[in-house]
Structure 1
Amino acid sequence: MTITPELLAKYEISLPRYTSFPTLPHWDQNHFQPSKAIQLLKNQVLLDPRVSLYIHLPFCESLCTFCGCNKRITRNHQVEAPYIQSVLEEWKLYKMLLPTQPVISHIHLGGGTPTFFSPEQLTILITGLLNGQKTAEEYEFSVEVHPNICTTKHLKTLYNLGFRRISVGIQDFDPKVLYSINRNQTFEKTRSIIEEARNIGFTGINVDLVYGLPLQTLDSIAYTLEKIEKLKPHRIAYYAYAHVPWKSKAQRRYTEKDLPSSADRFNMFLFARKWLLSTGYVQVGMDHFAMPHDPLSIAFKAGKLNRNFMGYTTDISPTLIGLGASSISDFNTAYVQNYKEVETYQSTIASGHLAIEKGHLLTEEDVTNKRHIMDVMCKGKIKLPNDLSPEHLAYIEEKITEFINDGLLQWENESLVATEAGLLLIRNIASIMDPYLYRLGMRDNVFSKSI
């Protein structure tokens, strides 16, 4: 895989990660109507009752400075019970609106730190969500855990509630890097949690790693991968660090001078990719790796990989309902996002109203482009829509020629597919299909860098 410094400089631009389309900065707030979005949700559930639930649990005991997620830092665990009750009340409000009983196919607990909540409160949450509900024949419940505040009781409780997959945040095991991002996490504690999860019966072990962190080097990546080999996770999400200090003030603890260069970041990815492939992992999309028997690899090979607000997934449910502060829902033809502030979210729910702050109603053009962009992100293939303006089509054809000349795309039979180098720059490739970027142009301080 060869990308010259000149190509790195050319393609290192601010771009969406395309976990949805249109991306949130391009949502049309002027024409958004919550009532219309709810009607679209009702229509979708009548067509297909499968529903996935994402529950945002925003509390953390300490601040990881690299994190751009919506979180609330506190050691006051008195916040647990009222927040759980708000989430359950929100779910009741949704159920009252739905025209038929939904079938729950996935539940994902994200954060924040879900294991900030006690096993007892997590039991109240899950039993409340499932009370009187149908679950799909092959449902999956997953949870994000922080080894420092995840206990054996947490794992046993979650397993008994139906969870079989855990996602363990690691990022890096180098002490210097961990200190720079304010994450006091040891390999021994991480290994202990993963081993306990396996012994209890969890069949899916995911870990999150990040490259491009402050003070990170190839040596620290190699050190981390040596540790990862001992953990033997089924999936590895190897994310590029998103430096967005205008959005996440905690990232101002360090400066751009502390971050690896674009070339160093790229080499970090290549180094880890080579190691992961040599140890038996399959590359899935731009930044995930999974063992061949893992459902994510199987879905990728079968052309059934999906992508949503949590990243690459096997979840093919047409409806995702987000519960909790800042959660985003995807009703297939509409997006809605809850209020980010915990207090505003809770008070709105307490008043008997959904806590929807903003959203977007997809146009026919949005639906078409969403499908094509997800084909690029999940399959690495480009299909040209047949309803583009002549100007946009000419632009796409020009960019495709550039990508071919730069070694990012190639013809396979009659299809254009991403090369190995193209997979790393898949956001660049997908972006040419994005009419919002085409019309509005690239803007700084909106999206993270593509490399």
Structure 2
Amino acid sequence: MSHLIQKYNIPGPRYTSYPTVPYWDQETFSNAEWMNTLKKSFDESNEEEGISLYIHLPYCESLCTFCGCHKRITKRHDVESPYISAVLKEWALYCDFLGSRPKIKEMHLGGGTPTFFSPQNLKRLINGIFELADKADAYEYSFEGHPNNTTKEHLQALFDVGFRRVSYGVQDYNERVQKAIHRIQPFENVKKATEAAREIGYTSVSHDLIFGLPHQTLEHVEETILKTKSLRPDRLAFYSYAHVPWIKGNGQRGFKDEDLPSPNAKRQQYEEGKKLLTKVGYKEIGMDHFALESDSLYQSMVYGKLHRNFMGYTASKTQVMVGLGASSISDSWYSFAQNVKSLEEYERLVVDNVIPIYRGHILTEEDRVIRKHILNLMCRFKTVWGTEESYFPEISLAKDKLAEMEQDGLVVFGIDELRVTEKGQPFIRNICMAFDVLLHRKEPGTRLFSMTI
């Protein structure tokens, strides 16, 4: 396996969307067309399946140097109330346009650090959302919690308004690694936050782990996984550290490049970490994710309902995802739209009754076909193209690009179908790239993506 990882470890998209953001067509995009596609999709799907809602809460008290998210570092908590007012105003603008009450099936609070906000302000936010919306059947609401500042009051406040899943960013338990990434959180803090969630009644607790961090060794990864096992989170993510300082600037320069594990050491962390996670009882879900058999993410994989969007893997599909807050991305299935990133501009536009979109992409018929293939591969490890609706002219080029992977035992072709083997699952990003016709037509001249492994 090591020689294959070395062979296929190249820069590539994570495919939370197709087309990927660098290939969005700004010339054909307009805010008016985005809103039209949103209304069309909402009318088609709201009653039957509801919508997803992502709310970006960008504030953090300190900078974690591994983080690639859009954030604002401050210790001033007087920013909370104005920001929540802006998010609720943006939501009201959407609801006025949509014309009927949305049914929210999935909701996620991301950041930044959502638990930067007080329990009272978080409750105000969610109650404000539901003044204009209803809970869909079988809903699932989740938030990202920092183990150091997620209190019982935070957990209880969000539990009271329907949240049953919390995700804690753990990364690594080694003190030297934590100092390098400026994320000091002892195991005891994670244990306390995990147990508090379960005592209150949360049915799914998730931990995020990262390999390839500065000063991190294989022993650190194994120790972190074994400590994680003792807390038995229902699901977890095992991410590769994406070192992209050319995108995120000095935020990822809190250490030297030579402090990062060598490519061979990082590959070993990945391989041995996955083996250990499987050994201690976790089932692999799609790419980077693991879950206990009792968790809804595993059940959705078993029953073919696993979905992937800008929130990552989700247990069910909605055709519409609305993103609220600075930098959030929305998906109408027919188009994508991203909010402005500047907090000041975001709040100014919303106060002026403007939905704060600054870029996006209207999907062509070809885009929608290829998007389905990539979703099938990312969520089910197989896809078919035997029907008129699933065929695209460059399928022969995709097959040519997959020929070497077929020889390496990573994929198997059938009649008008492709199946990813168990051996090939770690290379799912590479396999999806074979279908990415926009990537083929215009190879990037500069570094755009993190390494695939």
Query: What's the TM-score once normalised by structure 1's chain length?
Result: 0.96
Q: Which SS does the other structure have where 2:246 is aligned?
A: coil
Structure 1 residue 281 corresponds to structure 2 residue 278: no
Identify the range of structure 1 (415-424 vs 95-104) with the bigger mean alpha-carbon deviation.
Answer: 415-424
Whether the 8 Å contact between 2:410 and 2:421 is mirrored in structure 1 is yes
Where do residues 392-403 of structure 1 align in structure 2 (5 Å cutoff)?
392-403=394-405
- In structure 2, the partner of 1:41 is 38
Shift of 1:443: 4.2
Shift of 1:261: 2.3
- Report the CA distance shift for 1:132/1:339 in structure 2 as closer, same or farther (over 3 A): closer
- In structure 1, the partner of 2:204 is 204
- In structure 1, the partner of 2:188 is 188
Identify the range of structure 1 (441-450 vs 267-276) with the bigger mean alpha-carbon deviation.
Answer: 441-450
- In structure 1, the partner of 2:447 is 445
Whether the 8 Å contact between 1:115 and 1:146 is mirrored in structure 2 is yes
Q: How many positions carry a matched residue from both structures?
A: 446
- In structure 1, the partner of 2:272 is 271
Shift of 1:388: 3.2
Shift of 1:161: 1.3
Quick one: which amino acid aligns to residue 244 of structure 1? Answer: V
- Report the CA distance shift for 1:397/1:414 in structure 2 as closer, same or farther (over 3 A): closer
Q: Which SS does the other structure have where 1:236 is aligned?
A: strand
- In structure 1, the partner of 2:142 is 142
Shift of 1:253: 2.2
Q: Which SS does the other structure have where 2:135 is aligned?
A: strand
Identify the range of structure 1 (248-257 vs 233-242) with the bigger mean alpha-carbon deviation.
Answer: 248-257
- In structure 2, the partner of 1:348 is 349
Structure 1 residue 309 corresponds to structure 2 residue 313: no
- Report the CA distance shift for 1:30/1:412 in structure 2 as closer, same or farther (over 3 A): closer
What do residues 11-51 of structure 1 show as CA deviations (whole Å, max 9, x unaligned)?
12211100011111100001101101101111111111111
Whether the 8 Å contact between 1:14 and 1:444 is mirrored in structure 2 is no
Q: Which SS does the other structure have where 2:183 is aligned?
A: coil
What do residues 57-103 of structure 1 show as CA deviations (whole Å, max 9, x unaligned)?
00000000010000000000000000000000000000110033211
- In structure 2, the partner of 1:117 is 117
CA RMSD of superposed structures (Å): 1.5
- Report the CA distance shift for 1:356/1:76 in structure 2 as closer, same or farther (over 3 A): same
- In structure 1, the partner of 2:377 is 376
Quick one: which amino acid aligns to residue 179 of structure 1? Answer: K
Q: Which SS does the other structure have where 1:147 is aligned?
A: coil
- In structure 1, the partner of 2:22 is 25
What do residues 334-363 of structure 1 show as CA deviations (whole Å, max 9, x unaligned)?
100000011010000011110101111000
- In structure 1, the partner of 2:392 is 388
Which consecutive residues of structure 2, in runs of 5 or more, have no partner in the other structure?
none
Where do residues 25-104 of structure 1 align in structure 2 (5 Å cutoff)?
25-49=22-46, 50-104=50-104
Which consecutive residues of structure 1, in runs of 5 or more, have no partner in the other structure?
none
Residues in 2 aligned to 1:307 and 1:449: alpha-carbon distance in whole angstroms = 20
Quick one: which amino acid aligns to residue 20 of structure 1? Answer: S
Whether the 8 Å contact between 1:166 and 1:204 is mirrored in structure 2 is yes
Where do residues 418-429 of structure 1 align in structure 2 (5 Å cutoff)?
418-429=420-431
- In structure 2, the partner of 1:215 is 215
Shift of 1:401: 1.6
Where do residues 399-438 of structure 1 align in structure 2 (5 Å cutoff)?
399-410=401-412, 415-438=417-440
Residues in 2 aligned to 1:364 and 1:411: alpha-carbon distance in whole angstroms = 25
Q: Which SS does the other structure have where 2:337 is aligned?
A: strand
Residues in 2 aligned to 1:46 and 1:269: alpha-carbon distance in whole angstroms = 43
- In structure 1, the partner of 2:252 is 251
Quick one: which amino acid aligns to residue 53 of structure 2? Answer: L
Shift of 1:309: 0.7
Q: Which SS does the other structure have where 1:253 is aligned?
A: coil
Residues in 1 aligned to 2:61 and 2:268: alpha-carbon distance in whole angstroms = 34
Residues in 2 aligned to 1:341 and 1:101: alpha-carbon distance in whole angstroms = 29
- Report the CA distance shift for 1:175/1:232 in structure 2 as closer, same or farther (over 3 A): same
Whether the 8 Å contact between 2:102 and 2:132 is mirrored in structure 1 is no
Residues in 2 aligned to 1:405 and 1:211: alpha-carbon distance in whole angstroms = 29
Whether the 8 Å contact between 1:45 and 1:99 is mirrored in structure 2 is no
- Report the CA distance shift for 1:205/1:103 in structure 2 as closer, same or farther (over 3 A): same
Q: Which SS does the other structure have where 2:205 is aligned?
A: strand
- Report the CA distance shift for 1:68/1:86 in structure 2 as closer, same or farther (over 3 A): same
Residues in 2 aligned to 1:218 and 1:207: alpha-carbon distance in whole angstroms = 19
Structure 1 residue 161 corresponds to structure 2 residue 158: no
Quick one: which amino acid aligns to residue 428 of structure 2? Answer: I
- In structure 1, the partner of 2:229 is 229
Residues in 1 aligned to 2:400 and 2:416: alpha-carbon distance in whole angstroms = 18
Shift of 1:442: 4.4
Residues in 1 aligned to 2:9 and 2:439: alpha-carbon distance in whole angstroms = 15
Structure 1 residue 242 corresponds to structure 2 residue 242: yes
Whether the 8 Å contact between 2:385 and 2:416 is mirrored in structure 1 is no
Quick one: which amino acid aligns to residue 45 of structure 2? Answer: D
- In structure 2, the partner of 1:3 is 2
Whether the 8 Å contact between 2:88 and 2:128 is mirrored in structure 1 is yes
Quick one: which amino acid aligns to residue 361 of structure 1? Answer: I
Residues in 2 aligned to 1:3 and 1:186: alpha-carbon distance in whole angstroms = 33
Whether the 8 Å contact between 2:90 and 2:324 is mirrored in structure 1 is yes
Residues in 1 aligned to 2:6 and 2:257: alpha-carbon distance in whole angstroms = 16
Quick one: which amino acid aligns to residue 290 of structure 1? Answer: A
Give identity over the alignment, percent: 44
Shift of 1:415: 4.7
Quick one: which amino acid aligns to residue 425 of structure 1? Answer: F
Residues in 1 aligned to 2:449 and 2:405: alpha-carbon distance in whole angstroms = 21
Residues in 1 aligned to 2:412 and 2:365: alpha-carbon distance in whole angstroms = 30
Identify the range of structure 1 (414-423 vs 163-172) with the bigger mean alpha-carbon deviation.
Answer: 414-423
Query: What's the TM-score once normalised by structure 2's chain length?
Result: 0.95
Residues in 2 aligned to 1:316 and 1:381: alpha-carbon distance in whole angstroms = 18
Quick one: which amino acid aligns to residue 102 of structure 1? Answer: P
- Report the CA distance shift for 1:429/1:124 in structure 2 as closer, same or farther (over 3 A): same
Shift of 1:194: 0.5
Shift of 1:204: 0.6
Q: Which SS does the other structure have where 2:369 is aligned?
A: helix
Whether the 8 Å contact between 2:384 and 2:416 is mirrored in structure 1 is no
Shift of 1:140: 1.1
Quick one: which amino acid aligns to residue 68 of structure 1? Answer: G
- In structure 2, the partner of 1:106 is 106
Whether the 8 Å contact between 1:427 and 1:450 is mirrored in structure 2 is yes
Shift of 1:413: 9.2
